Amino acid sequence: MNMAQTGMDTVGIGRRRFLELGVLGGGASLLAWPALVRAAGNVDALLLSCMDYRLVTATGNYMTKRGLKGKYDHVILAGASLGAITDKFPDWNKTFWQHLDVAIDLHQVHQAIILDHRDCGAYKVILGEDCCKDPKKERAVHAEKLKELRKQINEKHPKLGVELLLMSLNGKVEPIK
């Protein structure tokens, strides 16, 4: 009897069960998969950044300069830290936490890098235009949201390191303490 006749694939999961898991949707179903199906290997971190097209290249360059090219999982949400904690879009919160849990489970990430950026449209949409007009106020608002997300991550995953960063439109990155 061959694999087609048994309905089993190369790792011993029936096709029907495989499809059922896939239909469950997104990362949550990955947690139910047997260890043989899970991705192998470790990566250093999970990066959360904004979807802003203006900073895609700068973000990749920054991670490469840090020696992390090919060594991180990347989650992209509008507003980055704000997207992960805002009440305005609760599904985004859920998405972030599911991705973080999957990254920990599949790749044993030991650090979350949260990269916000200046002149963020999502911050303006969610918090209003006034949040970011003054550079000092803008930095303070980002710092507040970044620190709130770090607090929540630390509560759920106390062993996970969390790094907070703010990128300017020119690609310069400053740490938020």
Asked if 175 and 167 touch (Cβ cutoff 8 Å), the reply is no
Helix (H/G/I), strand (E/B), else coil: 83: helix
pLDDT in tens, the chain (177 residues): 444 444 444 444 444 444 444 444 444 444 544 444 445 567 899 999 999 999 999 999 999 999 999 999 999 999 999 999 999 999 999 999 999 999 999 999 999 999 999 999 999 999 998 888 899 999 999 999 999 999 999 999 999 999 999 999 999 999 999
Asked if 58 and 115 touch (Cβ cutoff 8 Å), the reply is no
Asked if 24 and 30 touch (Cβ cutoff 8 Å), the reply is no
Which parts of 1-89 fold into alpha helices (H)?
A: 3-6, 15-24, 26-30, 56-65, 81-85
Q: Which residues are CB-contacts of 157 (< 8 A; sequence separation ≥ 6)?
A: 100, 104
